[in-house]
Structure 1
Amino acid sequence: MARRTFDATDRDVNAYALLTALVVPRPIAWISTLSADGVGNLAPHSFFTVSSAKPPIVQFTSVGHKDTLANVRATGEFVVNVASRPMMDLVNRCSAPWESGVDEAAELGIEMEPSVVVAPPRVAASPASIECRVHSEVDLGRSVVVLGDVVAITVEESALDGDHPMMSALQPLSRLGGDEWGLPPEVVELPRPRTADEARGR
């Protein structure tokens, strides 16, 4: 089957557009921070994942130097709020190129509430949040990877089955390529093989 090859080192090739269309779906870290002066910021970041289980560390990438990055550098704290389907329009509106120093939550009427451990507040309507203190950062050209030590995780009681957060309650959004978004996915259960022989079907 024929394929096109894109030379990622060619200046005329938009590697960002290709990668964001291929590395999908990407979970959205709807990150709330505070500036050194206490001004709130709320912005979605789709370069987001878990970096370590023990100790628990998550990471997001700031593509460019934005208020989120300035705030975590100033205070050392941030909160990852789950971007849930009912808030899709507000998550998208937070991605606008707001002027530096603008509190997006206040501008858009998004209710915030105190976090448990860190100073930045969490989104009240988000079904779950991950409170973090900055572990370290890695400069990668025009982007900066921020790693955060997870110090608290909050989940609405109604979104839990025992200790397990339920996808049906979280309804997480994801980002795809261009202006495409992913809605909460279909969930299937498939136990992992416990041995190589089991994987071979023996």
Structure 2
Amino acid sequence: MFYDAIANDHGLRHDPFKALVVPRPIGWISSLARDGTVNLAPYSYFNAVGSNPHYVLFSSGGYKHSAANIAATKEFVCNLATWDLREQMNLTSAPLPAGVDEMRIAGLTPAPCRLVRPPRVAESPVALECVYTQTLELPADDPDEPNVIIIGKVVGIHIEDAFIRDGLVDAAAMKPIARCGYMDYAVVTEMFSMRRPSAAEAQALLARQTKPAAE
């Protein structure tokens, strides 16, 4: 099938877009309001961008609590959402009013960070301490709810020691979860490796393509 994405005339029961760009990592963002209230919310429009230094970004439809808090306090933490924490992650997605501590609602433990003020989720095996870099606004059909992209520089990283094995992070053992559209999620329990072609192998591929055909 093909449909016009602007008209969104797909004719299906639900918009399929979020089920097509999958799986999407979940940014489980903890932040602080001006009054010190903790906010914790999951965002599936999330990813790592750039290195040296490292950056992460997440996107929200309008200035929700996380975006408003970060605009005010300039700091946040990205916690890893895992299979063991799936129910707690889902609870923190509830549309609760401002001023409610979702970490407490979900029965999670706030742990102090080293370089930023918002707490990290103690039960999560990974936390990225971030300082605010910039906000981008993309046009939206509803001008009152722009597509807000928050970018942060990663200044500190917590990794649970049990998941560092032979000098490498065992990500599969953490069982990170990802969003797959609709009400669906995926969990990573297996991984495979592929070596990127070397420069010499790339040159050999080019040579193979340009070699004249035998007569």
Q: Fold conserved (TM > 0.5)? A: yes
Q: Does 1:181 align with 2:185?
A: yes
Contact 1:67/1:101 (<8 A) preserved: no
What is the 5 A alignment of 1:113-152?
Answer: 113-141=111-139, 142-152=146-156
What residue number does 1:8 align with?
5
User: Given the alignment, which residue of 147, 153, 169 partners 2:173?
Assistant: 169
Q: In the comparison of the two structures, how many residue pairs are matched?
A: 199
Contact 1:32/1:42 (<8 A) preserved: yes
Q: Structure 2 stretches of 5 or more lacking a match? A: 140-145, 209-215
| Corresponding residue SS for 1:31 | strand
More off after superposition, 91-100 vs 123-132: 91-100
What residue number does 2:76 align with?
78
What residue number does 1:190 align with?
194
| Corresponding residue SS for 1:17 | coil
Q: Does 1:47 align with 2:33?
A: no
Q: What amino acid is aligned across from residue 46 of structure 2 in structure 1?
A: F
More off after superposition, 176-185 vs 81-90: 176-185
Contact 2:172/2:190 (<8 A) preserved: no
What residue number does 2:162 align with?
158
Q: What amino acid is aligned across from residue 5 of structure 2 in structure 1?
A: A
Contact 1:158/1:169 (<8 A) preserved: no
User: Given the alignment, which residue of 42, 54, 59 partners 2:57?
Assistant: 59
Note closer, same or farther for the CA distance 1:185–1:169 as it changes in structure 2 (3 Å cut).
closer
Distance 1:35 1:49 in 2: 23
Cα offset, 1:163, TM superposition? 4.3
What residue number does 2:105 align with?
107
Contact 1:111/1:124 (<8 A) preserved: yes
Distance 1:17 1:100 in 2: 29
Larger Rg: 2
- Tell me the alpha carbon deviations over residues 18-54 of structure 1, each in whole angstroms, 9 at most, x when there is no partner: 2211100000011100001100000000111111112
User: Given the alignment, which residue of 4, 18, 21 partners 1:20?
Assistant: 18
Distance 1:199 1:87 in 2: 45
Cα offset, 1:162, TM superposition? 4.5
Q: Structure 1 stretches of 5 or more lacking a match? A: none
Note closer, same or farther for the CA distance 1:198–1:20 as it changes in structure 2 (3 Å cut).
farther
| Corresponding residue SS for 1:182 | strand
- Tell me the alpha carbon deviations over residues 44-69 of structure 1, each in whole angstroms, 9 at most, x when there is no partner: 00111111112211111112221000
Cα offset, 1:96, TM superposition? 1.2
Cα offset, 1:150, TM superposition? 0.7
Distance 2:71 2:202 in 1: 46
What residue number does 2:143 align with?
none
What residue number does 1:68 align with?
66
Note closer, same or farther for the CA distance 1:11–1:196 as it changes in structure 2 (3 Å cut).
closer
Distance 2:149 2:205 in 1: 36
Contact 2:175/2:188 (<8 A) preserved: yes
Provide the aligned C-alpha RMSD in A: 2.2
Distance 1:144 1:163 in 2: 37
